[in-house]
Amino acid sequence: MHTNDKKHDWRLEHTYAKLPAVFFSAQAPMPVPKPELVCFNEGLAEALGLGFLKKDPESTANFLSGNQLPKGAQPLAQAYAGHQFGHFNRLGDGRAVLLGEQIDPLGNRIDIQLKGSGQTPYSRRGDGKATQYSMLREYLISEAMYHLGIPTTRSLAVVTTGEKVFREKPHDGAVLTRTAASHIRIGTFEYARNFCTIEELKALTNYTLERHYPDKKEAANPALELLKAVMHEHIDLVVDWMRVGFIHGVLNTDNMSITAETIDYGPCAFMNTYDRKTVFSSIDRQGRYAFGNQPPIVQWNVTVLANALLPLISENRDQAIALAQEVIDGFQYKFTERWYRMMFAKLGIAHPEDKDKKVVDTLLELMETHKADYTQVFLDLQQYEQPHGRFLNTEACKDWWKRWKETHTRGGGNKPDLSLMNTVNPKVIPRNHWVENVLETAIKGDMKPFNELLEILSTPYGEHPDELQFQQVPADFDAQYQTFCGT
């Protein structure tokens, strides 16, 4: 077999660093006393052309802690801004550095970033560090999202630093290696619009088009096309989150990637009991980022992007606003259409009709009233012959069951489209109590349960013999459960 070894090596390039200097600060990662590789993603490494790293964990720990720069690295912290809970702030990578863009064996360009690698000019009052607990949490959930088929940044490794990080009490510190199509955010555009020249905003826009939306480059109005494309990608993303019960938790504009990959796994969590108001984040007291509020928040964030792009959409401000408004006004329609399409698939409705929307709406109302488990109900429905499970057997579901059954007979069938259901209804999700259990054990030094869970979550649509055991949520666990930012 002919292999080309040159494709399996560090192949770092730096197109982002060719942007005007206002968009970043050169910043080396801070050395750490005792780097140790605790988690390494062999599959991702192989895909990146970095599979050779697994052979030498010691030197890999050096590279992926920032103690030693890989060949060709040019570390920098990116500048950005963002609306955090609705308030505009100047930000930037306060605890991360971009090493460069790895060119993988297929020729894709992937950002390699170290997160938790020390202070930068954008750290404000932060220490630039991260805890092992939260970096392992990001690793686990981002990989689970990837295997659920949802666009996301990924995690290549977690390296503990041998240093303590203080968050009320001392914790073990760690660095996560994050990969992404890029780390350009809606907040990067806000930064350009508010703190840079029009020329610099143009440079960022052209760069983004060239790198992520090359087919829009030659459009009559590229900035407007960029806005549309970003909005459509984000609609698909939020529909995917709603499909599996994912709550991002901190949907600030700096945490929305321009490529619509899920990014920034701080206070995220999965919903067990169906309730649109579900919130786990300790700081989200108003429920701004509650499960059911995610679609309008995504729309709000896209409006912020529109605002940043206005001068490039048209030199005539009124015209620019009118054009951008027209795009934003399309959000609701597009979202609703795609969301129902997704829900029809969850219900195995292969030939949906408009009246089936009521079937979806009624089911969700019933689930909310009866506190049904969002994941379990759709699995129970796959046993379509008789109502299966506690919820579907309630008296209140009787009518609904009949109406749902009627949707199967279209096209001459007598059952739901099971293969469709199988591709959209996960059998396993990262249940909060599992995630916490394996993390507690992992930070005490035993990675075995963590790795076992990771393995289970790598085939969410596959058969799992112990399935039921995973679905049971300890009573009251979620009621007490809190998640955190910046840990």
Catalytically active residues, by annotation:
254
Closest to 139 measured CA to CA, from 206, 247, 44, 246 = 44
Closest to 302 measured CA to CA, from 229, 204, 231 = 231
The interface with ligand AMP within residues 93-112 (CB under 6 A) comprises: 93-95
- Site size toward ligand AMP (CB under 6 A) is 17
Of residues 47, 48, 73, 91, which one binds ligand AMP by CB under 6 A? 91
β partners of residue 81: 90
Of residues 25, 59, 74, 123, which one binds ligand AMP by CB under 6 A? 123
DSSP 269: E
> Looking at beta carbons only, is 191 or 207 nearer to ligand AMP?
191
> Looking at beta carbons only, is 126 or 170 nearer to ligand AMP?
126
> Looking at beta carbons only, is 11 or 178 nearer to ligand AMP?
178
> Looking at beta carbons only, is 117 or 471 nearer to ligand AMP?
117
Helix, strand, coil percentages (3-state) for the chain, rounded to 5, are 45, 15, 35
Of residues 11, 83, 129, 408, which one binds ligand AMP by CB under 6 A? 129
> Looking at beta carbons only, is 92 or 426 nearer to ligand AMP?
92
DSSP 9: S
Range in contact with Mg ion (rule: CB under 5 A) among 164-172, 206-214, 251-259, 289-297: 251-259
> Looking at beta carbons only, is 115 or 232 nearer to ligand AMP?
115
Helical residues (DSSP H) of 174-247, grouped into ranges: 186-195, 198-212, 222-244
Range in contact with Mg ion (rule: CB under 5 A) among 29-37, 45-53, 61-69, 262-270: 262-270
d(CA 310, CA 259): 19
Asked if 93 contacts 70 with a C-beta cutoff of 8 angstroms, the reply is no
Closest to 332 measured CA to CA, from 285, 358, 296, 356 = 296
> Looking at beta carbons only, is 155 or 255 nearer to Mg ion?
255
Q: Is residue 486 at the binding interface for ligand AMP, with CB under 6 A as the rule?
A: yes
d(CA 392, CA 23): 54
486 binds, among ligand AMP, Mg ion, none (CB under 5 to 8 A by kind): ligand AMP
**What's the token pair of residue 129?**
């560090």
Q: How far is the CB of 264 from Mg ion (least distance, A)?
A: 4
* Token pair 């599996």 in the structure block, residue: 244
Q: How far is the CB of 95 from ligand AMP (least distance, A)?
A: 4
The interface with ligand AMP within residues 246-305 (CB under 6 A) comprises: 250, 254-255, 264, 266
Range in contact with ligand AMP (rule: CB under 6 A) among 49-57, 120-128, 270-278, 385-393: 120-128
Q: Is residue 272 at the binding interface for Mg ion, with CB under 5 A as the rule?
A: no
**What's the Cα-to-Cα distance from 99 to each of 102, 207, 332, rounded to whole Å?**
9, 18, 38
Closest to 349 measured CA to CA, from 265, 406, 425, 273 = 406
3-state secondary structure of 459: coil
436 binds, among Mg ion, ligand AMP, none (CB under 5 to 8 A by kind): none
Asked if 259 contacts 233 with a C-beta cutoff of 8 angstroms, the reply is yes
Q: How far is the CB of 291 from Mg ion (least distance, A)?
A: 20
Among all residues, whose Cβ is closest to Mg ion?
Answer: 264
Q: Is residue 264 at the binding interface for Mg ion, with CB under 5 A as the rule?
A: yes
d(CA 411, CA 434): 41
Residues near ligand AMP (CB under 6 A) are 91-95, 123, 126-129, 250, 254-255, 264, 266, 485-486
- The residues that touch Mg ion, with contacts defined as CB under 5 A, are 255, 264
